Structure 1
Amino acid sequence: MSAKTILNHYTRLLTLWPRDLLRPNLPFTRTIEHHGAPFGLKPLERSPQETAPKNATPVPAPTSPPNPAAEQAQVNALFSLLENRYSKKYPFSEGVLKPASAPEHYKRLMAEIERAPGKTWWQAKVDEWKGKIRWT
């Protein structure tokens, strides 16, 4: 496998990888960019939300020359995650996502995760306080 092929795979992964709406300041694409940098991968343009935190220290580039054969396994693993290969191969049973003790738990959790990016700071704080108060 050539370095150019690895570069093309990493570039494709960057374009296909979904955005993390819950944590826009910590996108997984930064990790992909870091692994592809020795092969000549150029970082994506960042949106204002994706700027690096002020206290973040840059990760140094690897000093050893890139090994395309070893990197191919990394690329394959990323594509398998992107395609949900494991959730298709090992599907969940109904009981996992709807436990008898709280059958609506995961449904409410996913709804909260979908609402989270649109919340203001104040709404997030109010929800946090609501979570700490036990209503009987």
Structure 2
Amino acid sequence: MSGAARSVAVNHFRGALTRWPKDVLRPDCQLQDVLAKRLGKGSLAATTKGLTQEQADLKQTNALYSLLEDRYKNKYRAPAGLYEPKSNPTYYKDLVKELEEAPHRSWLGRLAKKLSGMVRFA
């Protein structure tokens, strides 16, 4: 029974890792790779009080799926005006735009962006 429960947790964990999005900002350090190494070592989670190894593994798998499905984003909605502060209403839109452009910027573009950030006019 314990081997079957373990294989179920491992199969679900691998399925969640294949669905996890790639990080374009850090292509050499992916969450999937780190968790796959952890999976290769034999345990997904350290056992906690009152839980068997299989139960702890299933809890870790459930936590990964809950992050993958945005359960908490959907459960705890942010107030409407939170993403548009009065001091700088476009701050979060600009931040998302910058994060989308950063991986595709050339070396010269990165240098120009760095230099423009250093020089500010009052």
TM surpasses 0.5: yes
Cα deviation per residue 1:44-91 (whole Å; 9 max; x = unaligned)?
xxxxxxxxxxxxxxxxxx9xxx92211111111111110111010011
Q: Does 1:130 align with 2:119?
A: no
With normalisation by structure 2, the TM-score equals 0.82
Distance change (3 Å), C-alpha of 1:67 and 1:38: farther
Aligned to 2:102: 116
The separation in 2 between residues aligned to 1:26 and 1:103, in whole angstroms, is 33
Cα deviation per residue 1:79-105 (whole Å; 9 max; x = unaligned)?
111011101001111221100110000
- The runs of 4+ residues in structure 1 deviating greater than 6 Å are none
Q: Does 1:37 align with 2:40?
A: yes
With normalisation by structure 1, the TM-score equals 0.74
Name stretches of at least 5 consecutive residues in structure 2 with no aligned partner: 47-51
| Identity level (%) | 33
On the 8 A contact 2:6/2:57 being kept in 1, the answer is: no
Aligned length: 112
Aligned to 1:8: 11
Map residues 54-133 of structure 1 onto 2, 5 A cutoff.
67-133=53-119
Counting helix residues as a fraction of each chain, which structure ranks higher?
2
Name stretches of at least 5 consecutive residues in structure 1 with no aligned partner: 41-61
Supply the RMSD in Å over aligned alpha carbons. 2.0
The separation in 1 between residues aligned to 2:64 and 2:105, in whole angstroms, is 31
Cα deviation per residue 1:113-134 (whole Å; 9 max; x = unaligned)?
0011111122112111111211
Structure with higher Rg: it is 2
